[in-house]
Structure 1
């Protein structure tokens, strides 16, 4: 006898007693029951079922005596194969069968909807999803499986392995064990035990799932007690998390009652949902050995549970320990008998009440027409078992614990599963602590609930929460790399490639940051790029602004000086109007550099390059006009020269206007077809977003620069040819030097500009503008300002017309 399961009988007895004593349910009707054993054997299960159906004075299959009491429903069995074997026979007679065990998922058929098979427990599929949710919650991806070696175990594996793969979980091993722990073949048992023990010692797998029946726990406990001497390790050193399915209960039998269950400390058990029933514990406390005559099971239970014998008058000498009859069920350790109602007992209790309420509903329905006909009694003997089915389908009531009971469309109770944490005591007793639940009928997000702070893990775990993975988590900044020939849960960790990041553990593939962000050094985070442009506040901006404003002020002073001394010979020489135009152009050149500073906006982008091109073109045109004026003037001095008609201001003005007009046409075409606009460059510099002006048409931009360069080269050539003319009338050599400097600056500008990025391109262009403008101002006007301010005695007509000696 499995003494632990005696509570199932007592739960049945308690439920029947409660109904028979309740005047509101089936008044004047007494329910009775028979109990049959399945013997854990298919052949005996069939025989017991036939006995139940047809036994009278002797066993005659398919014959029913008229005196035999009417069988209306059957509750059982505990194991799936027992229940299915019973169903094969009972189903033929449409007798309602209410099972109280949790069974593997079956394929739905048309017969399943019309069968007489009712489950007092939820669908086991919910338990499977609960296990997956539990593993995912704690991040356990490397899990060992101990599965009973029968059809239900195979169905469990066929269901769980695809779920494992789908949810990123791997089975470290699959160990099958026999349904019943028999040790008659020592060599075979030793091999199985040794194989199981080696699997348990896996350093990486710290989480094991046990699927089977209660006898499986005896088998697993035997693994440690028979083989712990192999490595001389104490049983307490085995620190694992055991996930135990609903059909397994903690039991000890016979010689095993001295075994320690400490290895299962902290186990997480899925159990059939149950509630405390009022009066049940008092009912258990009332069970005494003086009621042995009333209870045919009590004597065997008592002797095995308390390891004693009652006196036997047929045996003269009995050396065994005698039962004192003062023993108490409360003194038994929990693996032998529990005072708290288990999930299976709760299901049996509910099954009795389901049948009773169905009968009560039938009695109410049939008593009304009988009362009208003058009959007040309702005979259950007139009722056939198949007539209960319509009432069982629609049953709905609250049991004594206040819980609502009703069947789903699939003939299952839908109360879900409880998740219990096992706390094992040295006295071999244990405490089940509810730490969660699985309920498929709950709202989304509450179908699986776990309170990990309530869980007491095995004391051998050093960390707060156990870890069960094949490979430690790949930290952020790394990605998984598959190992050849191994399961996908076993992998290497490779750093993310350049330009990619991963910000979570165990990333399969690193990803690229958004355009406005870039990876940090550890490649585990994206950092926002800074906006990059040449601002007025930074050192470069302050320096360049200061130089531009200082140069502009200097140019203004030079212009003021020339205006003040406008009637002096040195100012009047070489066309005073061109000098003023050149100075104003240089002033605007210096100021135009300020358009390149600050955050680019639509107007500044539109103006800065065309303005720069136009202003410089005017300045160079003035230089060219000055040089041409000198050359024409000297050519006109030759006798009979036809160049005299070109001498005068009109030639200079025409040169400036015509040269500037061509540049204005190019700039106008540029602004009309593809004007510059504000833009951002996300890619040139990794850590920055370059805010810049997109030139629109790059071709027209280089046309502007090219035309400006063409004017500069023409001016340089003309000035170079005229450099040997008499000094007093000639500033050509100063223009030569200025154009040489100008060309050198802009020839250096092009490669430097093209090789830089971001705001440094702007810096290069501003420096080129300031340097070339300063070169023109210095080379052309420094000598004249020297004479005007420091050597005014040289600023007279005689000095100007003086020939070179």
Structure 2
């Protein structure tokens, strides 16, 4: 705080104005905090406006219960109070505490992060330990509510009494309960002094759990240094995101070589609170023997920085800067430096700035900053430290690369409480509260891996291969495959003929190959659905159909360019007339959609009401895939319409128009039927729509060409084609010179 004030006073932020400070030690005690608050408010007791008071804003307190008491008094003159660590939800009430602000988010957000972390790492069951104060009581209750919303079973919620630290009976009672509790993970939402007793007890008892720390102790170096801490189990923590205070380490380092009385504050602090575990004498001798200070004080300094370089360092720094920015706004609107405290409080609400171009500062409607959270893990290897394994922000809970949730929670806990079952088993309640076990499904039941319950297996719960619809669909798909293969052979043997070139030339082969993919996709809709078949059917059709239509579209553009006689338009079109590039470009967009679909939220097997089917995963991406195919068909349709005046034998426009309309009409009809959810027949409807679309292209685009190749060979002649084209344009009054 002192550093932040000196930095502001040495800047041009507040010209001709210096900020001062008074320091009161509340000892984290409510009564002492109230006494100090009354003292600094003495001017307001004698002067309603408070013009005689030098104090216009308060930074603190740390503990929520103390901040609540202080905020109640400071509300009377509407004096600004900015806490750097108090997170109790009760302080968010603007009605009760209109002049209270904070540079940390309330526990409402912290508890949500903890619950999401527990859910993500699949800890089950869980326990909650809170304390009988503003912080622990509200936090424990909020956690319990969120866990219920996420359907996470809470084995216990223990609230430690206010005199827990001084009452051995309460500590003995907790020891007995720790031996009885079976929770895999225990969230401890209380102050670090309470946590120290809990951890020391678990170490002594040999109790191994996953402990989840609230921000009150998530970065505690004292607790991290406890003897045999590793025996207590894994410790994860939640803390506000933080940055380094710009220039603070350099500011602290100036004391290393400073002999003047300017360093007396820091010297006295070291004398009173030695931070070197084994060097108290050396630190104490610093003041009397400054010649030997260089190495000793540097060691003490580094320990001091390590101890206090936590997120609270940054939140204190932000608090001072918010007051300074509000003061700047106020002084721009008044010529006097004498003003009542409520005027500064009003300006705090409009503060909007950034610190070092890294942290954007703007208080929300509850008067607090929400800059997100870091997810921490305590490491007990060679060197004890606290590392960041994830974060929570606008994009939700994100774990850093390399952090695997499965490493934190296995399929079964140490108390044989199961979280998921293998295929053929279901979860059922055990004798222990919040504990489940796996039991085999009955002979007429089935389940899939990770499912919580078995389902009846009947002959009608999926589209069996022996079903009449399955047989019909398989027959039509097989016929389509056979006809497509015959067409492919014909196009290979007649690839240099005019009709084959008119149909697209080399583009016919990827189009025919794609049609094969469309017909093959039908077989993924038949039989009992699996995750693989669900992931294959619709995406395979989407990619195949897009590729086929892209080939037809590229050929349509080629024909349109070839018969365009408007010189300016023809010149521009010929520059973009690259059929292969066009085909690849159009197909690539669908590839991106389908790959994103399969990676992010792929279709998967789903059992609902004894019906085994396929869940689409992302309905939005499924709709995007169909919409993109529809868009390509519409473009094809438009090209066919624009080329309606071209020679019919060459362009085959009417047939292409019909095939595109067939696809559009079929899938428009499919949408309302799909919404109705016809259970196992939903798969029949999907497969039928794919068959009709595929036969539409096969029958309208390729079949007429094959007919000419086999039974109208005389038309498959270049001279005949030229005569047909000349005759077409002669009828329109356009003549050709030989």
Residue 396 (structure 2) pairs with residue 447 (structure 1): yes
1:403 is matched with: 359
Residue 114 (structure 2) pairs with residue 131 (structure 1): yes
| Whole-Å separation in 1 of the counterparts to 2:160 and 2:452 | 37
| C-alpha contact (below 8 Å) 1:496/1:502 kept by paired residues | yes
Residue 176 (structure 2) pairs with residue 208 (structure 1): no
Residue 22 (structure 2) pairs with residue 34 (structure 1): yes
CA deviation map 1:275-297 (0-9, x unaligned): 12331221222235846665546
| C-alpha contact (below 8 Å) 1:397/1:405 kept by paired residues | yes
Cα distance change of structure 1 residues 121 and 158 upon mapping to structure 2, 3 Å threshold = same
Higher mean C-alpha deviation, range 331-340 or range 397-406: 331-340
SS at match of 1:139: coil
Residue 215 (structure 2) pairs with residue 246 (structure 1): yes
Alignment partner of 2:4 out of 15, 18, 33? 15
| Whole-Å separation in 1 of the counterparts to 2:92 and 2:170 | 38
Residue 432 (structure 2) pairs with residue 496 (structure 1): no
2:465 is matched with: 529
2:315 is matched with: 347
Cα distance change of structure 1 residues 292 and 165 upon mapping to structure 2, 3 Å threshold = farther
The alpha carbon displacement at 1:491 in A equals 3.1
| Whole-Å separation in 1 of the counterparts to 2:425 and 2:409 | 27
| C-alpha contact (below 8 Å) 1:268/1:419 kept by paired residues | yes
Alignment partner of 2:390 out of 424, 436, 440? 436
| Whole-Å separation in 2 of the counterparts to 1:159 and 1:514 | 47
| Whole-Å separation in 1 of the counterparts to 2:8 and 2:386 | 29
SS at match of 1:517: coil
The alpha carbon displacement at 1:216 in A equals 2.8
The alpha carbon displacement at 1:213 in A equals 1.7
Alignment partner of 2:239 out of 268, 271, 283? 271
CA deviation map 1:323-376 (0-9, x unaligned): 96446676469997526732111111001111101111222233xxxxxxxxxx
The alpha carbon displacement at 1:266 in A equals 4.9
Number of residue pairs matched by the alignment? 467
1:86 is matched with: 70
Matches within 5 A, 1:398-797: 398-400=354-356, 402-424=358-380, 430-439=384-393, 442=394, 446-451=395-400, 453-454=402-403, 470-483=417-430, 487=433, 489-508=434-453, 510=455, 515=460, 517=462, 528-531=464-467
| C-alpha contact (below 8 Å) 2:426/2:438 kept by paired residues | yes
Gaps of 5+ in 1: 1-11, 314-319, 367-377, 519-527, 536-685, 688-805
Cα distance change of structure 1 residues 456 and 275 upon mapping to structure 2, 3 Å threshold = farther
SS at match of 1:168: coil
Task: Supply the RMSD in Å over aligned alpha carbons.
Answer: 4.3
CA deviation map 1:183-238 (0-9, x unaligned): 5x5x5265146336525xx5x5332211112223322333246x35xxxx6xxxx5
SS at match of 2:246: coil
Residue 331 (structure 2) pairs with residue 363 (structure 1): yes
SS at match of 1:147: strand
| C-alpha contact (below 8 Å) 1:101/1:344 kept by paired residues | yes
The alpha carbon displacement at 1:137 in A equals 0.8
Cα distance change of structure 1 residues 133 and 472 upon mapping to structure 2, 3 Å threshold = closer
| C-alpha contact (below 8 Å) 1:397/1:406 kept by paired residues | yes
| Whole-Å separation in 2 of the counterparts to 1:436 and 1:408 | 24
Alignment partner of 1:191 out of 161, 172, 187? 172
SS at match of 1:92: coil
SS at match of 1:287: helix
Matches within 5 A, 1:263-302: 263=231, 266-288=234-256, 290=259, 295-296=264-265, 298-302=267-271
| Whole-Å separation in 2 of the counterparts to 1:321 and 1:249 | 38
2:89 is matched with: 105
Alignment partner of 2:39 out of 43, 51, 63? 51
Cα distance change of structure 1 residues 310 and 532 upon mapping to structure 2, 3 Å threshold = closer
Cα distance change of structure 1 residues 330 and 213 upon mapping to structure 2, 3 Å threshold = farther
SS at match of 1:247: coil
Cα distance change of structure 1 residues 262 and 334 upon mapping to structure 2, 3 Å threshold = farther
SS at match of 2:37: helix
The alpha carbon displacement at 1:252 in A equals 6.3
Cα distance change of structure 1 residues 218 and 434 upon mapping to structure 2, 3 Å threshold = same
Higher mean C-alpha deviation, range 283-292 or range 136-145: 283-292
SS at match of 1:195: helix
| Whole-Å separation in 2 of the counterparts to 1:194 and 1:302 | 37
TM, length-normalised to structure 2: 0.55
Cα distance change of structure 1 residues 435 and 510 upon mapping to structure 2, 3 Å threshold = same
The alpha carbon displacement at 1:122 in A equals 1.5
| C-alpha contact (below 8 Å) 1:180/1:215 kept by paired residues | no
| Whole-Å separation in 1 of the counterparts to 2:184 and 2:450 | 20
The alpha carbon displacement at 1:240 in A equals 3.0
Cα distance change of structure 1 residues 353 and 454 upon mapping to structure 2, 3 Å threshold = same
| C-alpha contact (below 8 Å) 1:149/1:179 kept by paired residues | yes
| C-alpha contact (below 8 Å) 1:303/1:309 kept by paired residues | no
Structure having the higher helix fraction is 2
| Whole-Å separation in 2 of the counterparts to 1:118 and 1:396 | 14
Residue 177 (structure 2) pairs with residue 161 (structure 1): no
TM, length-normalised to structure 1: 0.51
CA deviation map 1:232-283 (0-9, x unaligned): x6xxxx54322111122554669x9773543577522111111123312212
